[in-house]
Each structure stands twice: as structure tokens, then as C-alpha cells.
Amino acid sequence: MAQLTYTIGLPDIVKSWAKEYNTTDFISQDPVQFPHKWEHKRDIEISAFITSWLSYGNRKAIIQVSNQVNDLFIQADTPFKFIDQFQRFKWENDKPLYRFYKWGDLRAICEVLYRIYSDYVFMEDMVLDYSRDFPDSENKYLQAIIEYFRFYGKEVKGVPSTSESACKRLSMFMRWMVRKDGIVDLGVWDRIDPKDLIIPLDTHVHQVAIALDITQRKQADMRTATEITNYFKGIFPEDPALGDFALFGAGVNANK
């Protein structure tokens, strides 16, 4: 990546970057655009979870495949109706979907989501319920999702089997659901505090955090994600995931 330079204090520069990149202009260039297409909480949850599950690799490719899946939601009328009726879809399980995902992997996601909405009104209810098993964990909400999928989904491809990994896509999903500034993130979950989020640790965020000496850990794991998050708690104590926009935006810009 290109060398990052700055002439003011690091806390001030990351505040400036967060303000620069946390704008509505970000939405049309990012997968977060897809849950923004829906109005009702369950539809937003489903669109956001599946879109975040697809979100690795090139953003243009992610948006392309997410648009393909969103078309299925539209055909069913809404994401919730698609999940409710997913068994009726003609699943070609071995047909490639995106990179190492096949359509059967999406079906497996739908099976677990169907179970969630059979047991709970909202996915948020499940996350809160299962998080009670991890009361002292910094990433208890991520662990709640992992535990539910591990128990009912038997390690669905693309969903972490342990919270020791960075859990980037789950952290991004949580950021979309929980942050409430009304700019990029949707903030439809009102019973989880934004200060309890973990920074989504993707390549850009990790590289910039190392370049700025926020962390020197080379392994992209939960320890590193937590270390970066704790740094931003000193700058944005009520909303540390706002730091994601600063590091991600700076990283993308530096690589242009």
C-alpha cells in the first residue's frame, strides 16, 4: 500500500478520516446498499446477513453476486418471504455461486435463518438470547451467532466455527445492524450498545492499523481486531466501530 503521511496528531487524523468516509456517498459503492433496499426489520436482517456472508474479495464482484441474490428476494416479494419459502426454490446445490461458495451453501444459510425465524420474531432476539451464555466475553454477540449456527447449521461454510478468528463478516453485519448515526449503517437493533461492537478486520483496516502503529500484530485474528477496537474506544468511546470507516477508507484511498 502507499505510504500514509499526516501532519497532525493521530487521534485527530482518524477523526478526520472517519468524518470523510462515513457519508451517504459510501453506500452506493459498498455491499451495505442491499439491506438499505428494504424497510422492515426482518427483511433488513436477512439481506444484511446474507450480503455480509458474501462480502469477501473484490467489492465489484461482491456487489454483482449480492445483486443476483437480491433479485431472488424481489421475486419472492421480500427477503423474509424468500426464507419462508426457500424449500420451494429449485436448488442446484453444486452449481458455483461465488468464489468457493456453491448454491448449496446459500441453501444451508437459508435453512438456519428459517430456524431462527421459527424460534424468534427477529434475529436480534436470538443474538441476545444466546449471548447470555457468554456474559464476560468482549465479543459475546459474535459468539452467539457462531454458537447458533454451529448447533443448527453444522458449520455452514463461510460462518466461523470459532470466535478466535477475526470474524470480519459477522462484525460487519453487527456494525450494520447496531450503529445508529443514520448515515451508512442501518441501526435497526436497539438493544445492543454500539460501544460493544468489534471492528471488522479486513485487509485494508489491518494494513492501515499496522502502518499507524495502532497494532503490530501480523495475524488477522480476534486478538488483533479487539486490540484495534480498544484503541478506538479511546477516541470514540461510545462508538468504536466508527474507526472502521477511518481505517478502511484510508486503506482504499492509499491503494488507488
Categorize the per-residue pLDDT at 153 as very low, low, confident or very high, splitting at 50, 70 and 90. confident
Chain centre distance of CA 133: 22
> Each residue of 17-38: pLDDT tens digit?
999 999 999 999 999 999 999 9
- Predicted TM-score (pTM) of this structure: 0.94
Whether residue 154 has pLDDT greater than 80: no
Helix (H) or strand (E) holding 11: helix 10-21
C-alpha cell at 255: 491503494
Paired with 102 in beta bridges are: 96
**What phi and psi, each to the nearest 5 degrees, are found at residue 6?**
-155, 155
pLDDT digits (tens, 9 = 90+) for 9-21: 688 999 999 999 9
Report pLDDT for 249. Answer: 84
Least confident range from 112-116, 119-123, 154-158: namely 154-158
Mean pLDDT of all residues in 203-229: 95
For residue 81, pLDDT beyond 50: yes
Segment 124-130 shows an average pLDDT of 98
Query: What's the pLDDT tens digit per position in 244-253?
Result: 999 988 866 5
* pLDDT computed for residue 9 by the predictor: 67
Give the list of residues 6+ apart from residue 224 with CB closer than 8 angstroms, or none. Answer: 166, 201, 206, 209, 215, 217
Tell me the pLDDT tens digit for each residue of 156-213: 899 999 999 999 999 999 999 999 999 999 999 999 999 999 999 999 899 999 999 9
Taking the C-alpha atoms of residue 219 and residue 209, their distance in angstroms, rounded to an integer, is: 12
Distance CA 233, CA 240 (A): 5
- Confidence (pLDDT) at 6: 47
Rounded average pLDDT over 78-93: 96
* pLDDT score recorded for residue 250: 82
Whether the predicted pLDDT of 223 surpasses 50: yes
